[in-house]
Structure 1
């Protein structure tokens, strides 16, 4: 990652600091080509003027449909957003990757990353009035790693075994890992790690009890979730809103129309293409965040024709990555190189950038026994730019003789079988550390390994990356991992995206998030 500051970030920082006024901000933004100029890139809209917080009101959020809101099993953006208003994490990663204390106030490792001690916030109460203690935290993490609970978090925390989370005293918890994890605190904010009562019985939809800023009072599967303010929230004075309403939609267009028509105040997320109708609307602000979010074009390495690495490389060589960033993201993203180590992590993978090369792709296919190409089915969900990506990939693969039949499904349908299809395009939310997505998406033991690629050398390298806190060593390991993935190509990874969150300008205190997480603790309506 370059040390040079992004001009947009610099401009925003100057505006926030008060060294330039609103008029200068707008003029400079225009000179930078911000916004939807013809063929230009999408960026954050001008920041709102500082104002005194106004309490009360109902915020209406448009989000994609959710198949389950059991915190142990959530894996879709809509479900995660629903749960995050009720439950909270030990920590929260900010945009600069610094950790903010939430239910934990302090943490440290006693032995170089293998044992971690977390001190808990005192006086926090669940929605049913019980105090949150170490017993609840222990029970939460024990459930996450218990093989009998079928938690989707288990594969992300293979280094934490049953019995590894213990109580030291009423407000102190110890995590004993099987190997050193230098960035373990970030793992306590994975999707599923909201702290639940020790006697949680798996019936979250019927009895949603957490410590969060809002209480879930009504949930209609595939339709909506309604909340009221938690009057006894531990962070005194917050939240500012009286109510929150999350309405669930089957695709992006209805969400855009809801925002335009006044039926929603904000969207959880939107693709650059779907956001275009909003760009000229002076009542809408589009917040933007750099991220490690990406799209994985996964190929089952245990099925023909993708069992041959030459076929997988050929598919990756068909992709015109700069064109994809321009067409699919309106420039709001960065070209990737078939590994998920994003620039925001600050690691230098130092491998050659893969470029489109149809001639070489055809040679590789011929050498693999497919001189005339082949036919295949590509599955994806109807979410953000995934349908447009699928169409573009179909067009880019055709010159090499790869004939693709598209299956664009409702997101909840796609997620019911996404790891079982031979060729699938999946949205991956940004993670706070590279090892989180490397493990979750490509570890040989991961339930989310849609490519079914298993390489002990890869797992070993990722383990060393997890344990290391030395910058030079981490760069060297990142290089080895990137080189191995470039050679094997279990998935084509074309770009990293800047996450976009459109909202009415009356919505304050809400930003875009690098993981598409939704924190409404500070939200208010002007």
Structure 2
């Protein structure tokens, strides 16, 4: 068994990881990440690797947050420009923005930092069995809900049971750790008998049907925020949480007001801000709002606004990410049910050229398989080469010798660069005889049909693992499988990769997984993009997270 912080006993696989690091097969940062997943405290893992522990985490105090800033000033209101969205049911959230509004109220078992290392949050530590099929989580003692109730394993059990309820439709069932707690019964996937074992008020054990290394990382996916055992939607009507803030007002499309909880000692230590105010602005207007002095920080600005951002008196924060735009096909709908049509579209597009057009100064070229170079298990495939003649031949073979006409739905949910990508595709596809109509719609309307449109441009946020996003988006039958792709052999290969600790073996398995998805041509994915935000110089500790998660526990404002 492995432990986090409180025991000297190491997981049996940690010596194997140390040997791989010593032999050069595993980088020191990869060692830290894997060791932390296996239950080694993050600070201890950094020490084993001979690396300094990051300033944004208080590893020695077993906290996921930065240590207290001796220069910090208490009080004040942080005003942030971001889309203000409904707060219905955290388990079914599909936008990072609504999770940001909620993240200051609800918390997670774990927290994955900008360094891609997962630390305890509401859990104090965890243990994994040698075969990675049994995971035991030990909860922090003394954690209170803001209604005065104790946080216990009954709350955790309640959440897991909710996620696995087939009537809820939570995307969490696409996570490998949750899927391994379920079974097929009467045509539905439901929780297996005996999958969850409550040991006591602060100890809970999960019995998985397969080995999963990423269980702790899965617990910081944004729909895994833990609600009170009395929860009934909408969350905005009864916002009981363990976090340092509570909800005062949420007016969709206008404002979300959060106020620091009083009368209950917060388990996470000092919190400096009195209030957090989110004001509704779309991405293309957030920077101009900041320029006018109406807000202290923003959610993001687009690359096309970089010169304006540089001219402003603020701190630009950039992060390399796996955030991407998938111009994806539903493989069950005509004409995309013919793989030759999909392959023709993919071959007629030059991803590298589109990337340079849209993000010339940052980001990575997408490879049409959704695993990004920043992911630790990424296997570099041969570069994609545009081949218009091959595209025409495939179209003719599929019964379209004179070309065909298509429409892609675009919501610009991350800004107007989505439309730029689609229009660049349109221009390139003309050479292969394909007419592409670009249907631009409001972001809110796109999210109503994102998983229904036969051809749509969908933004996917960053996940720390490529296997995590593949499980969420492409496994047979999972809620977020917008392509309707189904390949049981591919599913099994993904299972094997997720259960493989040896990094070289894992990457070797990923080569086939990435190649099969790429060859099946379920998407055009031109870019893995960086993200940019900006904060006033009076704001300290504003986090740079590749997933754009807001965790403002240690943010403060100078007067």
Q: TM-score, normalised by structure 1?
A: 0.87
- CA deviation profile, 1:341-388 (whole Å, cap 9, x unmatched): 222223352421112232322222222222232111111222223222
Name 1:257's counterpart in structure 2: 288
Residue 179 of structure 2 is aligned with which of 129, 134, 158?
A: 158
124, 140, 144: which one aligns with 1:125 = 144
Give the whole-Å Cα distance in 1 for the aligned partners of 2:252 and 2:289: 19
1:385-433: CA deviation from partner (whole Å, max 9, x where unpaired) = 3222222222222222221222222222211111110101111011122
CA shift, 1:510, in A, is 1.4
- Any idea what SS the aligned residue of 1:153 has? helix
Q: Secondary structure at the match of 1:332?
A: coil
- Structure 1 residue 238 corresponds to structure 2 residue 257: no
Residue 90 to residue 341, structure 1, CA distance change in 2 (3 Å):
same
Give the match for residue 479 of structure 1.
511
Given the alignment of the two structures, is residue 413 of structure 1 paired with residue 432 of structure 2, yes or no?
Answer: no
Say which of 392, 396, 412 aligns to 1:362: 392
Contact 1:113 1:184 survives alignment (8 Å):
no
Answer whether contact 2:318 2:530 (CA < 8 A) is retained: yes
Equivalent residue number for residue 62 of structure 2: none
1:174 lines up with 2:205 in the alignment: yes
Distance 1:318 1:94, change over 3 A: same
Counterpart CA distance in 2 for 1:118 and 1:204 is: 26
Cα pair distance change 1:332/1:108, threshold 3 Å: same
Residue 37 of structure 1: aligned partner = none
Shift of 1:67: 4.6
In 1: Cα distance, 2:200 partner to 2:362 partner: 47
How far residue 230 of structure 1 moved from its aligned partner, in angstroms, is 2.4
Residue aligning to 2:234: 203
Aligned to 2:298: 267
Other-structure match for 1:79: 98
Q: Deviations over 1:154-204 (max 9, x none)?
A: 233322232523311111111122211111111111111111111212231
Deviation of the 1:331 alpha carbon:
2.3
Cα distance between partner residues in 2 of 1:313 and 1:478? 21
Matches within 5 A, 1:31-70: 52-70=71-89
1:432 to 450, 464, 472: 464
Which runs of no fewer than 5 residues in structure 1 stay unpaired? 6-12, 18-49
Q: Secondary structure at the residue paired with 2:280?
A: strand
- SS of equivalent to 1:476: helix
Q: Deviations over 1:466-488 (max 9, x none)?
A: 11111122111100101101210
Question: Is contact 1:65–1:412 with CA below 8 Å preserved after alignment?
Answer: no
Kindly state the Cα deviation for residue 320 of structure 1 after the two structures are TM-superposed.
2.5
d(CA) in 2 for partners of 1:325 and 1:238?
43
**Residue 135 of structure 1: SS of its match in structure 2?**
helix
Distance between the aligned counterparts of 1:311 and 1:397, measured in 2? 12
Greater shift in the superposed pair: 372-381 or 447-456:
372-381
| Equivalence for 2:323 | 293
Q: Structure 2: which 5+ residue stretches go unaligned?
A: 1-24, 30-50, 56-68, 183-190
Superposition pairs for residues 140-155 of structure 1, below 5 Å?
Answer: 140-155=159-174
Equivalent residue, structure 2, for 1:96: 115
2:224 to 180, 183, 193: 193
Of 386, 399, 402 in structure 1, the residue corresponding to residue 418 of structure 2 is: 386
Q: What displacement does 1:114 show?
A: 1.1
User: Match for residue 245 of structure 2?
Assistant: 214
- Going from structure 1 to structure 2, the CA distance change for 1:389 and 1:51 (only over 3 Å counts) comes to farther
Contact 1:74/1:80, CA 8 A, preserved across alignment = yes
| Residue 112 (str. 1) matches residue 131 (str. 2) | yes
Q: Distance in 2 between matches of 1:223 and 1:166?
A: 43
Looking at structure 1, the residues matched to 196 and 121 of structure 2 have their Cα atoms a distance apart, in angstroms, of: 19
Change (3 A) 1:373 1:502: farther
Q: 1:218 to 1:131 in 2, by over 3 A?
A: same
What's the RMSD between the two structures over aligned residues? 2.3
Question: 2:326 touches 2:523 (CA, 8 Å); kept in 1?
Answer: yes
Do structure 1's residue 459 and structure 2's residue 484 form an aligned pair? no
Helix, strand or coil at the partner of 1:510: coil
